[in-house]
Amino acid sequence: MRKKNVIEENFLEKIPSHKEGLGFSTDDEGNVTLEMENTGIVNKIAQKILRKPKISYIHLEEFGSFIWPLIDGKKSILEIGEDVEKHFGEKAHPLYERLATYFKTLESYGFVNLK
Protein backbone atom coordinates (compact mmCIF):
# COMPACT_ATOMS: atom_id res chain seq x y z
CA MET A 1 0.00 0.00 0.00
CA ARG A 2 2.82 2.39 0.81
CA LYS A 3 4.34 1.86 -2.63
CA LYS A 4 1.15 3.11 -4.32
CA ASN A 5 1.22 6.33 -2.27
CA VAL A 6 4.82 6.98 -3.30
CA ILE A 7 3.92 6.43 -6.95
CA GLU A 8 0.95 8.82 -6.69
CA GLU A 9 3.09 11.47 -4.96
CA ASN A 10 5.69 11.24 -7.73
CA PHE A 11 2.98 11.48 -10.38
CA LEU A 12 1.55 14.63 -8.77
CA GLU A 13 4.99 16.25 -9.05
CA LYS A 14 4.93 15.91 -12.85
CA ILE A 15 4.58 19.08 -14.88
CA PRO A 16 2.03 18.95 -17.69
CA SER A 17 2.25 20.96 -20.90
CA HIS A 18 -0.08 21.17 -23.89
CA LYS A 19 0.82 19.02 -26.86
CA GLU A 20 2.44 21.19 -29.49
CA GLY A 21 0.09 21.97 -32.36
CA LEU A 22 -3.07 21.21 -30.39
CA GLY A 23 -5.35 24.21 -30.68
CA PHE A 24 -8.07 25.23 -28.30
CA SER A 25 -10.64 27.94 -27.86
CA THR A 26 -12.65 29.28 -24.94
CA ASP A 27 -16.20 30.56 -25.26
CA ASP A 28 -17.73 33.45 -23.33
CA GLU A 29 -18.75 31.14 -20.49
CA GLY A 30 -15.21 29.77 -20.06
CA ASN A 31 -15.88 26.39 -21.70
CA VAL A 32 -12.80 25.04 -23.47
CA THR A 33 -12.90 23.19 -26.79
CA LEU A 34 -9.79 21.36 -27.98
CA GLU A 35 -9.16 21.34 -31.73
CA MET A 36 -7.34 18.19 -32.82
CA GLU A 37 -6.28 17.87 -36.45
CA ASN A 38 -6.73 14.32 -37.74
CA THR A 39 -3.51 13.59 -39.61
CA GLY A 40 -1.90 10.45 -40.94
CA ILE A 41 -2.74 8.05 -43.72
CA VAL A 42 -5.56 6.26 -41.88
CA ASN A 43 -7.26 9.57 -41.09
CA LYS A 44 -6.85 10.77 -44.68
CA ILE A 45 -8.56 7.62 -45.97
CA ALA A 46 -11.34 7.95 -43.37
CA GLN A 47 -11.83 11.58 -44.38
CA LYS A 48 -12.24 10.66 -48.02
CA ILE A 49 -14.25 7.43 -47.74
CA LEU A 50 -16.19 7.89 -44.49
CA ARG A 51 -16.37 11.69 -44.62
CA LYS A 52 -14.66 12.03 -41.25
CA PRO A 53 -13.78 15.61 -40.30
CA LYS A 54 -10.28 16.99 -40.78
CA ILE A 55 -10.49 18.53 -37.29
CA SER A 56 -12.14 16.94 -34.26
CA TYR A 57 -13.54 19.18 -31.55
CA ILE A 58 -13.38 17.92 -27.99
CA HIS A 59 -15.54 19.86 -25.53
CA LEU A 60 -14.21 19.82 -21.98
CA GLU A 61 -16.54 19.72 -18.99
CA GLU A 62 -16.50 22.21 -16.10
CA PHE A 63 -13.40 20.88 -14.31
CA GLY A 64 -11.48 20.32 -17.54
CA SER A 65 -12.31 23.82 -18.76
CA PHE A 66 -10.96 25.24 -15.50
CA ILE A 67 -7.82 23.07 -15.51
CA TRP A 68 -6.83 23.42 -19.19
CA PRO A 69 -5.69 27.09 -19.03
CA LEU A 70 -3.68 26.29 -15.87
CA ILE A 71 -1.51 23.86 -17.83
CA ASP A 72 1.46 26.09 -18.62
CA GLY A 73 4.49 23.77 -18.56
CA LYS A 74 5.59 25.30 -15.24
CA LYS A 75 2.99 24.23 -12.66
CA SER A 76 2.98 20.69 -11.31
CA ILE A 77 -0.19 18.66 -11.05
CA LEU A 78 -0.01 19.23 -7.30
CA GLU A 79 0.04 23.02 -7.78
CA ILE A 80 -2.84 22.84 -10.26
CA GLY A 81 -4.71 20.83 -7.65
CA GLU A 82 -4.30 23.67 -5.15
CA ASP A 83 -5.97 26.06 -7.62
CA VAL A 84 -8.77 23.56 -8.26
CA GLU A 85 -9.28 23.18 -4.49
CA LYS A 86 -9.56 26.96 -4.05
CA HIS A 87 -12.04 27.30 -6.92
CA PHE A 88 -14.27 24.23 -6.43
CA GLY A 89 -13.75 23.30 -2.77
CA GLU A 90 -15.49 20.10 -1.68
CA LYS A 91 -17.04 19.68 -5.13
CA ALA A 92 -13.62 18.60 -6.45
CA HIS A 93 -13.07 15.78 -3.94
CA PRO A 94 -11.46 13.28 -3.99
CA LEU A 95 -9.19 15.88 -5.57
CA TYR A 96 -5.83 14.25 -6.24
CA GLU A 97 -7.24 10.88 -7.24
CA ARG A 98 -9.42 12.65 -9.79
CA LEU A 99 -6.53 14.81 -11.03
CA ALA A 100 -4.24 11.81 -11.42
CA THR A 101 -6.88 9.98 -13.45
CA TYR A 102 -7.65 13.10 -15.49
CA PHE A 103 -4.02 13.75 -16.41
CA LYS A 104 -3.38 10.09 -17.21
CA THR A 105 -6.35 10.25 -19.59
CA LEU A 106 -5.14 13.50 -21.21
CA GLU A 107 -1.70 11.95 -21.66
CA SER A 108 -3.10 8.72 -23.13
CA TYR A 109 -5.01 10.70 -25.77
CA GLY A 110 -1.90 12.75 -26.55
CA PHE A 111 -3.38 16.07 -25.41
CA VAL A 112 -0.61 16.76 -22.86
CA ASN A 113 3.00 15.83 -22.21
CA LEU A 114 4.12 15.12 -18.66
CA LYS A 115 7.67 15.76 -17.51
Structure confidence by residue, pLDDT tens digits, 15-32: 999 998 899 999 999 999
Q: What pLDDT, on the 0 to 100 scale, is given for residue 44? A: 76
* Predicted structure pTM score: 0.81
pLDDT band at 104 (very low <50, low <70, confident <90, very high): very high
Q: What pLDDT, on the 0 to 100 scale, is given for residue 59? A: 96
Q: What pLDDT, on the 0 to 100 scale, is given for residue 9? A: 57
pLDDT band at 75 (very low <50, low <70, confident <90, very high): very high
Tell me the pairing of strands 23-26 and 16-18.
unpaired
Residue 111: partners with Cβ closer than 8 Å, 6 or more residues away: 18, 19, 22, 34, 36, 58
pLDDT digits (tens, 9 = 90+) for 26-74: 999 999 999 988 778 887 787 778 888 888 899 999 999 999 999 999 9
